Structures are given as C-alpha cells and as structure tokens.
Amino acid sequence: MNTTEPASPIARHDDPALLLAVRGMTCAACVNRVERALRKVPGVAQAQVNFATETASVVLASAADVPVPDAARLIAAIEAAGYQAQVQEADHPLADEHASWWSVWGAVCLGGLASVPLMLPMLWGDHHFWPAWVQFALATPVQFGLGARFYRAGWAALRDGSGNMDQLVALGTSAAWGLSVWLWWQHGLAPAVGAHSHAAGAMPPALYFESSAVVITLVLLGKALEARAKRQTTLAIRALQSLRPDTVRRLGPQGEVEVPLAQVLVGDVLVVMPGARVPSDGLVQDGSSHVDESLLTGEPLPVAKHVGDRLTGGAINAEGRLLMRVTAVGGQTMLAHIIRRVVEAQASKAPIQRVVDRVSAVFVPTVLGVALLTGVGWWLAGQAVDVALIRAVAVLVIACPCALGLATPAAIMAGTGAAARQGILIQDPQALEVAHRVQLVAFDKTGTLTQGQPRLLDWAVASDTGLSREEALQFAAALQRGSEHPLARAVLAAADGLSAEPLHAAQLRAVLGRGIEGVLPAMDADAVPAAWAGSWCLGSPRWMQELAAQGAPADVAEVATRWSADGATVSWLLHAPAVTRSGDASEAPAWQVVAALAFGDALKPGAAQAVARLHALGVRTAIISGDSRQAAQAIARQVGIQEVVAEVLPGDKADHIRRLQRDAQGHAVTVAMVGDGLNDAPALAAADIGMAMANPQGGTDVAMQAAGITLMRGDPMLVPAALEVSRRTSRKIWQNLGWAFGYNVIGIPLAALGGLNPMLAGAAMALSSVSVVSNALWLSRWRPQAAPEQAT
C-alpha cells in the first residue's frame, strides 16, 4: 500500500478528525463493533462512533514509524464489519438530506398491509381466526422479506463475535414464526386453527404468525420514526448549509458575470444585490446597507455595514447594493468554520456516553441469557413448550438497546443545534459537560463587559513642561499611528480635530501589556521642536512607575487619581530627551512624565443583567483586567461583581485563573473565562471552560481556538444562556437515560413473568426509542432569556 499519498486528508494529533458517514447501525452495540473494527486498523489512535449522527470520527497516531492508513482502508474495515461507510466533509451537506419518502416508509407500509389482517381477528373474537395457510402467507414475506435486514446484520455481528439488536429481533421473530409452523405441522396442516376454539373436540393451540409479522413491522416503524426525529435534530446544521448561494455575481473587466460559487477566489470583487445572501467572507469595498446575520450570530436586528466593514458569508443583504472584496473562500469562511464545529461537536461523545457504551457491550449477551432462563423456567414450571417459548420471545423483543444508544447523542445534537441558532457555538460535548458545572465566571473587562470602543475623555499636561494640550495630543497620536489597539483608535480619533499636520514616530515598539514606545526626531520648528525630540512612550500606570523614577508631577497625579476613581482608564505619556550614547550599554534615557490621558468605555447593554442572571443561577462572578484597580472596581460596582483582579499582564491572566480554581479551603472550583481577544487566549485555555466573545473589531480567531464555547455576538447575556443550555442538555441526557433504562428495567421482568406478549413488547421497544428522541427534541424550543429593557 502506498502510504505517501493518502486517498483523503487524515487528521493527526490535534487536527480535526476525519469524519466517515456510517450506514447500517441499528443500536448501541453496533457502535462498539464499528469502533473496534476501526481501532484494529494499524495507525488509528482513536475512533469514536456516534449512533445519532451515524458518523465515525477517526484520529491517527502521531508516531512517525506508524504507517498512515488511507480513507479507503478505514472504509474497508467498516464494511468488513457489516456496515457501509464513506468520507464525509464536516461542512458538506448531510447525506440523507434528500432521502425519499418511500425509502423511509415503504417497508413500514408493506409490513402494515400484511400485519393488520393478522391483528384484526383479535378484535373480532377468538373464533374468527384466519385459516393457518392465510396467516402463513401473510407473515412469511414479512419475516424473510422485510426482515431480511435483521438476519444480514445479525449474522455479520455473530461472525464478528458480538451481539446487537438485529440478533434479538431475528431470534425472537424467527422463534415465533417457527413455533407457529411447527404447531401447524403437528396438527396435520389443519385448514383453520384458533387460539381458543370452542368447538367440540380437541382444543387447537394458538399460532403466533401475527407476533412475528407485527413485531417486525413495529420495529421498522420505530426505526422510521427514529430516523425522522434524528433528522430534526440536525435542522441547525441543515439551516446553516442552506446559507450558501449556488452562484454569485463577480465584477471583472467584462462587467458583472454570474459564476458558480466554487470559482470565487480570494481578492475577487463580488456584487451583492438587495435581498441576496453574502456569498463569502469579505470587506465592503463600496456601498452601504444593513445585513441580517441572525442565522449566524443569533443577532435579531440587521447590522449596518459601510465601506471597510466585514461581511460574513451566509448573511442576507437588506436594502443597499454592495461591492465586496473576498477575504476567505470555501472551508476558510466563518460559515464553514461554524458548520464544522457544530458537526464535530455532534459527532463526538460526551463522557457519560462512554459509560453507556460499556453497558451496551454486555447488554445483548445478558438479554440472551435472561431469555433462555425465562423459557427454561416456564417449561420447568409446567407450562407448555409453546407458552415458555413465546415468553422468551417477548424478552428478546422488548430488550432493544436502541434507546441506550440514542439517549446521550440525541440530547447533545438537539442542545448544540438550539445553541447554534442563538449564536452560541459549542465546540464539543466535553465543553457542554463542563459548562453545566461552572461555579465561577471570570470576565475580561474591555470588549466583554464594555463596548470595547473607548474614547478619549480628557487629558492633562504637567504644568512644568511648557507643553500645550494640543502638542501633547499630537505626540501621543504620533505613537499610535498604525496601531490597531482600541486606545490607539481613541487617541487618533481625538487627534483628527487638530489643526497641525500629523506626526509619525520612528522605531515603534509595542511592549506587551504595557504600551508603545517610539522616537520623534528633531526636524524643523514646525514639526518637532528640538527640545521635544527623542524617545516617547505611552502606556499603563505600571509602566510609568517602572520607567519614571520621580513618578508623576503632583498636579497631573491628582487629576489622574480622580479620573481612576470615576472608572476611567488612565494612560501616561512620557518623554526622554535624545542623548549622546557613550557606548555604555547600561545608559538609559531619563524618562519624564509629560501628560496623563483618560479613556472611557461604555458598558454593554445587558452587562449588569447578565451578571444578575449568573448570580440567580448560583454562579459567582469576577473581573480579571489589565486596567487599573480603580477602573476595574468602578466597572465591577456598575455591574454587580464583587471579585476584582486588576493590573494583570496578559501573560499572568492564566495564573490568576488557576488561583481561582481553588477556594480558600483548597477545594476545586469550576471556572469559566470570558474574553474577546488574543491577550485572553492563555486564560481561556487555562480555565475549565473558555468562552470567546465575538469582537466586531476582530482579533478573536486565536481566542476561538482556545475556547470551548464561542459566543458569536458580543452580548453578555449569552454567557448565562450558554450555562443554561448546558444545564438543560445535561438534564435531558439523564432523563433520556432514565427512559432507556426504565423501559428495560420494567419491561424485561414483566415480559419474563408473562405480563407482555411479543406484540406489546415490540410496541414498547419502538416507543422507547421514539420517546427518547422526542424528549431530546424539546431542547429545540429553547430560547435564551433576553436582557430587560434599560430604563431611560
């Protein structure tokens, strides 16, 4: 085998796993069988199969000396186990999206046509049974025609040394059909036999042809209803997949040309007409409009877009004609990223599912043993062989492990789908599992609780410098040109109103967590006076204390203290005159504090309500911020947060998260971190669960990779909503497991004691799977609690 050119891209180590669509699984035991088949392939490090999504997620070993199996070899292993498989891209339309009605319900209809006549005499009275040959003619095509799938799958599992639901159905219905044929034969192929004939003479025994036919029909009905319900749990993915337009209008030398979306390249200019979907990610090059992003972010109101603003593929353009320049296509777009994350989350397993898998691995052999004991026990108790056998059949029929296989993944699919529709992107079931146990939520301040768009409120210049306010702002702006930091944009916006020509600093150097430094050379008097040439820096109070031995002048320090008490963020402007270096490496410029600048950032609507909602859920809150303690405490007071960790460097945020993960007594505390930018990525990764909040100014890509949950719009109310949907999903999982185990705990003993005939057992078995999936689908109605309207 050629290992240098795999047939399909294969995931290694931490890369996204290869997804395979698997068809033919009927219960949780099939899941274990497919996983075993994949893990036997050399080079497979991990294989997870999800019964509800019918997908297998495969990750390969990272050792260089292990041969890499291609996708064809993995598919061959699944097919050898008795199932069908094919590669499925995470963001590709789901395979069964266009399944015909007849392919789902045809077998059920045919089984019903044969089974209903067999059941009708039970309503008329026991002396109106059909002749035995009529019952045989109706039941046999159902048993060996429609039921052939159970024999094939059961035999394949038997060859593999495992058990599954198909074996239980095949054994149970075959026993009922075979017993009926034997009894018919024993009575001389009588033209008519009844369950309780009252005619003079011998009492003919009952035949059970109707049990075999009705059970198979009910099983097929249950699978059809189950398939229909499972498709409803994937509605969120299908809705996202439908957002891609098939064709786009590309602007070229020949004007507007309609081309397939697959031909669009990065850098192309596309025309987005009113009412059309944005075909890919890009930037507005010309025009203005409002764009509906609700299916992507959950934002109910259209968002205004102007030149330079970002557009996300799948959004709907409202009233204006837009020209956009494409920045991402295909699998690199935000829409593809969202679909991929939702599919991968639904395809992987929650921790509780692994426990269920271990139970299901021994379930079928246990049921076979119980059925054998039931039959032998009733026979030893003096019952006829046919009575003992039919009660063993009832045990086999009711003990279907389908519900066990569906309990957890159905709830996860419904929960993650409902969350995605509301703008909450849950990366994997582990994140869902942890989120419902969160005890403390730590917020970054800027861009998370506040708008992230600070403005320059005021600035003060030290009186002994002789520098004017306009000159101080001009020098500060020179340092910030080219920077994308929110405070830089605020300084530049304020400096736009100055009459002087803008200055540009040289040798700019950003100091992480502290500020920015640069050099303004001496030029003519209209530019930079010689007295003010040299090094300049603009940064945090911590940096000012580190650089300026003398500290801030009293007049500026007093104003800055008042600003901080009012909740403003204070930055300091420092200057060091140009010096003639003597070659001494230790020589450093003598920094002088020149001015202080005060920045203000408005709270986001709903920030205080989000914190109050978290407190109502029993969750503590904290702020971890690089701002001054006074500024952080002022925001904390406004929103109702008691715990404040301030003046923290970006690299130290993760350490503070780890401290919060232990209380004063040393007990573990489950901590969620909410942030919106690159500086928050270490803290998001260190927390038990990270929540990356979308920032319209960008910078959240790295944060999204480090986070378990992505909030697709900057609404603080999504934080408690994420915890709420996690808690509801967790409750649904346990409810479903209760349903699944409850049916078997009650049904198996009842059948063994003779309280259920095979038909009722078949109905209960079908109902168990349908009830589990239907219970999970209630999550689809979930909506997050909205923030109350602010009083005006």
Active site residues: 444
Closest CA to 258 of 237, 272, 275: 272
Q: Are 413 and 772 in contact (CB under 8 A)?
A: no
Number of neighbouring beta carbons within 10 Å of residue 369: 10
Closest CA to 680 of 624, 608, 600, 619: 624
Q: Are 758 and 393 in contact (CB under 8 A)?
A: yes
Cα→Cα distances 271→110, 256, 292, 324, Å: 52, 8, 17, 7
The tokens for 257 are 């040309």
DSSP state of 627: S
| Nearest 10 degrees: Cα torsion 776, 778, 780, 784 | -120
**Rounded Cα distance, 202 and 273, in Å:** 84
**Rounded Cα distance, 34 and 36, in Å:** 5
466: left (phi over 0), alpha (psi -120 to 50) or beta: left
Residues present in the chain in total: 792
Cα→Cα distances 284→132, 256, 472, 712, 783, Å: 77, 17, 35, 20, 32
**Rounded Cα distance, 671 and 506, in Å:** 43
DSSP state of 301: S
**Rounded Cα distance, 753 and 748, in Å:** 9
H helix intervals, 200-333: 209-233, 235-241, 294-297
